[in-house]
Structures are given as structure tokens and as C-alpha cells.
């Protein structure tokens, strides 16, 4: 079982922690789960456990799902989702996070949970993983478990490779299969346009198509640019080894990429395994311009994409 380490403070997970959660009475909390983009993603090799070894720089953005959790003294775990039709049992990472936290700590507390989805799925934006991290942080506080960040990271690794990075926004450098997280600082907010094409992509299918490079691309330059808050340098350093396999799996993603790049941002990239793309912009006004040009420039026969004007998530008061 996980327990609080004496040398670490309990993980807050509230207004003073990574999720700007609010109490909703004595026995409930509301938390916001941010999406993410990958400014760098390199494949280092294939591991013995079947996963790929990766290095990736993940940046949280201010596109959010909302999770409400309420203590249930009966000990039951229940989940409702909006929109309807989403899985509400173990297939949903929120449910799995709550169950993993109970098994890891031995608590018998229950929770009634409600998830409002805004982050597109099969999009490479990490919505499911962020929802799971939000559940871990909220329930840790609601149930009075007092787990440290290290304790929550151990539970997160059981749920999914990139769940842990959402426990340390606004950014993280992730290695291993993605579960080893080194928090990163962000020198200034980055302004972005995120485009979700009218198709989703299977992570497993994209990884099947990837070739491990003989000489991996180093991510030091983009990490330094992020710390400095230098959007131009960050755009120059963008890299995603999964981009070409994703383009091969779904040509509409490639054509959408070229349309977005033609709008003149500082740089464009696929996020994660796709299908979403993002553009790094000069400032907020430039992001609005890029998004507008992309929307009005759509060919008449093109299925519509979802377009979001966002900036990097800034969890502390400005």
C-alpha cells in the first residue's frame, strides 16, 4: 500500500496545487483537467515489455475537461459522463484512477463522479490521462489520503504512461515509456492554435508504423526555449517522430497540417500520436489570425475540423 512519506508534504491537488480545484461543499470537489501538446517526441527504441522508450516534452494548455467528485459513504464508485455514451466503468480512465487509488491505499471510501468532456478523443491531446490525474488529485484530497506527489505518481503509472505528467503542470520532460516525469518550467505563456481534423487516430496503429531512428533528435533546444519563454526558438525546435507515421495512417491529417502551416504561424506539429495538430503563434492576436485564416480557407468539400485558440496552462496566479 502507498503511504505518505515523512520527508514530503502531502500533495495538495487543490487551489494551491496543479489543478485549480474548488470545494463544492464539505464532501465534494470540482477540478479542471487540461489538455496537452507535445513540443518534442522522440522514439529511442523498443522495450522488452513491448512499449517504446520515449523522450517527450509535454506542455499543458488551457482547454479543459471538468470533473466533479462527491464522497459516497456507501463505498460505491459511480461515474456519469457528458456527453452521454462515453464509457462509465473500467474502460474510462477516471473510474480506473479511482479504483487504482483505493487498491493502492486500502481505503474503502466511495465516490460519485461526473465528467464533462470538452477535449477531443483520439486526438493526441491527453484528455483521458488528464482526467485520470484530476481524479487522483481530487480523491486524494476528498478522501483525506494525504499521499505525496511520489505516491500519486506510483498510482498514475499503473493507469497510463502519460498520466503522471498532469500531476506537475504546466510542463514536464517524460522518459521511460512516458511515466518518468521531470517537471519543467515555462518562462512565459505560449499562444497556440489546436486543430483536430475530422478523423481520430489509434495510438497503437501509429506506433506500429514508426521506425526507431539510428540517431535520435535531442530535445535540449526546445526545453531551453520553453524555460526562456521564447516562442520563436520553441517553434524552431519542434519535433515529433510519430508525425510521418500518423500522416501515412490518415492522409487527411497531413493535408490539414499543410493548410495550417500555410497560415503563417511560427511552426506546426502533430501532437502525440495525433490526430490533432498545433501551431505555435507569436502572441494572442496572431493565434486569432491563424485560426481565422484556417477556418475561412477551408475548401468547400472538406469535412470541418475543430479549431481551438489556446495558450499554455499557467496554474499559479498571474
Q: Annotated binding residues for ATP, as ranges?
A: 120-130
What is the Cα gyration radius of the chain?
Answer: 19
80 close to 115: Cβ distance less than 8 angstroms: yes
The catalytically annotated residue of 36, 62, 71, 131 is 36
Q: Which residues contact 75 (CB under 8 A, 6 or more apart)?
A: 108, 109, 110
Binding-site residue set: 120-130
138 close to 29: Cβ distance less than 8 angstroms: yes
User: How far is residue 299's CA from residue 224's CA, in Å, rounded to a whole number?
Assistant: 38
The catalytically annotated residue of 62, 65, 162, 286 is 162
Active site residue 36: yes
HEC letters along the chain = CCCCCCCCCCCCCCCCCCCCCEECCCCEEEEEEEEEEEEEEEEEEECCCCCEEEEEEEEEEEEEEEEEEEEECCCCEEEEEECCCCCCCCCCHHHHHHHHHHHHHCCCCEEEEEEECCCCCCCCCCHHHHHHHHHHHHHHHHCCCCCCHHHHHHHHHHHCCCCHHHHCCCEEEEECCCCEEEEECCCCCCEEEEEECCCCCCHHHHHHHCCCCCCCCCCHHHHHHHHHCCHHHHHHCCEECCHHHHHHHCHHHHHHHHHHHCCCCCEEEECCCCCCEEEEECCHHHHHHHHHHHHHCCCCCCCCCEEEEEEECCCCCC
Residues labelled as active-site residues: 36, 162
Amino acid at each position: 500500500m502507498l503511504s505518505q512519506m515523512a520527508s514530503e508534504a502531502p500533495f495538495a491537488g487543490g487551489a494551491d496545487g496543479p489543478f485549480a480545484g474548488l470545494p463544492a461543499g464539505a464532501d465534494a470537489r470540482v477540478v479542471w483537467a487540461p489538455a496537452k501538446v507535445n513540443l518534442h517526441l522522440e522514439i529511442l527504441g523498443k522495450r522488452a515489455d513491448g512499449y517504446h522508450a520515449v523522450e517527450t516534452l509535454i506542455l499543458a494548455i488551457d482547454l479543459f475537461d471538468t470533473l466533479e467528485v462527491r464522497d459516497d459513504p456507501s463505498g460505491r464508485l459511480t461515474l456519469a459522463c457528458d456527453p452521454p455514451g462515453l464509457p462509465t466503468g473500467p474502460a474510462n480512465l477516471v473510474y480506473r484512477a479511482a479504483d487504482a487509488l483505493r487498491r493502492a491505499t486500502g481505503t474503502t471510501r466511495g465516490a460519485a463522479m461526473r465528467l464533462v468532456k470538452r477535449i477531443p478523443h483520439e486526438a493526441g491531446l491527453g484528455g483521458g490521462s488528464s482526467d485520470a490525474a484530476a481524479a487522483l488529485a481530487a480523491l486524494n484530497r476528498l478522501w483525506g489520503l494525504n499521499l505525496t506527489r511520489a505516491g500519486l505518481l506510483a498510482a498514475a503509472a499503473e493507469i497510463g504512461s502519460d498520466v503522471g505528467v498532469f500531476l506537475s503542470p504546466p510542463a514536464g520532460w517524460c522518459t521511460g515509456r512516458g511515466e518518468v516525469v521531470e517537471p519543467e518550467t515555462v518562462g512565459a505563456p505560449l499562444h497556440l492554435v489546436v486543430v483536430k481534423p475530422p478523423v481520430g487516430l489509434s495510438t497503437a496503429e501509429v506506433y506500429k508504423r514508426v521506425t526507431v531512428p539510428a540517431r535520435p533528435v535531442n530535445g535540449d533546444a526546445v526545453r531551453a526555449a520553453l524555460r526562456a519563454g521564447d516562442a520563436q526558438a520553441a517553434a524552431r525546435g519542434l519535433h515529433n517522430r510519430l508525425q510521418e507515421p500518423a500522416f501515412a495512417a490518415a492522409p487527411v491529417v497531413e493535408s490539414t497540417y499543410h493548410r495550417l502551416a500555410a497560415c503563417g504561424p511560427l511552426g506546426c506539429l502533430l501532437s502525440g500520436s495525433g490526430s490533432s495538430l498545433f501551431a505555435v503563434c507569436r502572441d494572442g492576436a496572431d493565434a486569432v489570425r491563424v485560426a481565422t485564416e484556417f477556418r475561412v480557407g477551408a475548401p468547400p468539400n472538406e469535412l470541418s475540423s475543430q479549431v481551438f485558440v489556446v495558450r499554455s496552462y499557467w496554474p499559479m496566479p498571474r
